């Protein structure tokens, strides 16, 4: 039987990095081994960016503008997570994300850093704690240049250019999002 609880919290990045470095320095004399923990493509921000590509509108001439061409990325953000074991019960979690971009958005490359530690309250149980932090990986939507003929040329939110919102107002609705920057994971395993 296994029980698990996840806590995602807002511990500050500085504290996490200090802790990680402290753990690393105390184990520097030992032989470290690094293992591949996870490889995956996509993220909540990738999904969100892809969702921006749904829809479209007609230009004044009647020609259809599909959002797909602006929000289709040829490469989906890939994340590689690694664990460098420092002691039998302590390791550094680290990894990176490649990021992705299309014509009208960009997800920055990201770097993940954290630690994993575990204790054994009794021979049949293990309590694990890991904390990771992500640097970078922000999603930023880019504006378009919209030509309204005699009414002028404006920098606009590409998706809202044909609506009723004033061109300059549409910029308020450009997507700017950060990934989950701090992840705290607590696991208790009982074997019987």
Partner 1 sequence: MSANSLKFGLAAALAILSAPIASAQDALSPDEMAALCHGGGSICVSATIPVSRTTQAVQSWMSPDVGAAWAAGYKGKGVTITMVDDFSSTSRFSGNFGIGVQTQRHGEWTREEASMIAPSATIRSKDFSTGSYVPLAGGLNVLNLSYGMYTTAGYSVNQIGWAPEEASIISYATKGSAIVSKAAGNDAVAVGAAINGQQDYLDLALIGKSTAIFAGALSTNGTTTNKAQLAWYSDYAGSNTQVQSHFLVVGVEGDKTGLYGTSFAAPIISGYAAIIGSKFTKATPVQITNDLLNTARTDTLANYDPSIYGKGEASLSRALAPVAIH
- Enumerate binding residues for partner 1 (CB under 8 A): 57-62, 65, 144-152, 156, 158, 160-167, 169
**Residue 17 or 65 having the CB closest to partner 1:** 65
Nearer to partner 1, 79 or 159 (CB): 159
Nearer to partner 1 by Cβ, of 75 and 148: the residue is 148
Closest distance of CB 154 from partner 1, Å = 9
Query: Which tokens sit at 101?
Result: 């971009």
Q: How far is the CB of 99 from partner 1 (least distance, A)?
A: 23
Nearest distance from residue 105's CB to partner 1, in Å? 15
Where on the phi/psi map is residue 73: left (φ > 0), alpha (ψ -120 to 50), or beta? beta
Least distance to partner 1, CB of residue 63, Å: 9
Q: Which is nearer to partner 1, 65 or 184 (CB)?
A: 65
135 DSSP β-pair partners: 111
Query: CA-to-CA distance for 181 and 9, rounded, in angstroms?
Result: 9
């Amino acid at each position: 039987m296994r029980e698990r609880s996840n806590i995602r919290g807002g511990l500050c990045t500085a504290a996490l990095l200090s802790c990680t470095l402290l753990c690393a320095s105390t184990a520097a004399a030992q032989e470290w081994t690094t293992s591949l923990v996870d490889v995956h493509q996509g993220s909540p921000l990738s999904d969100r960016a892809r969702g921006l590509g749904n829809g479209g509108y007609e230009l004044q001439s009647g020609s259809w503008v599909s959002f797909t061409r602006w929000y289709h990325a040829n490469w989906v953000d890939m994340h590689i997570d690694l664990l460098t074991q420092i002691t039998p019960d302590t390791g550094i979690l680290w990894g990176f994300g490649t990021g992705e971009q299309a014509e009208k958005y960009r997800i920055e490359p990201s770097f993940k850093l954290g630690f994993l530690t575990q204790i054994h309250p009794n021979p049949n149980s293990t309590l694990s704690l890991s904390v990771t932090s992500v640097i970078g990986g922000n999603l930023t939507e880019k504006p378009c240049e919209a030509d309204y003929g005699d009414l002028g040329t404006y920098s606009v939110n590409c998706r809202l250019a044909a609506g009723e919102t004033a061109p300059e107002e549409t910029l308020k609705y450009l997507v700017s999002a950060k990934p989950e920057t701090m992840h705290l994971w607590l696991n208790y395993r009982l074997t019987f």
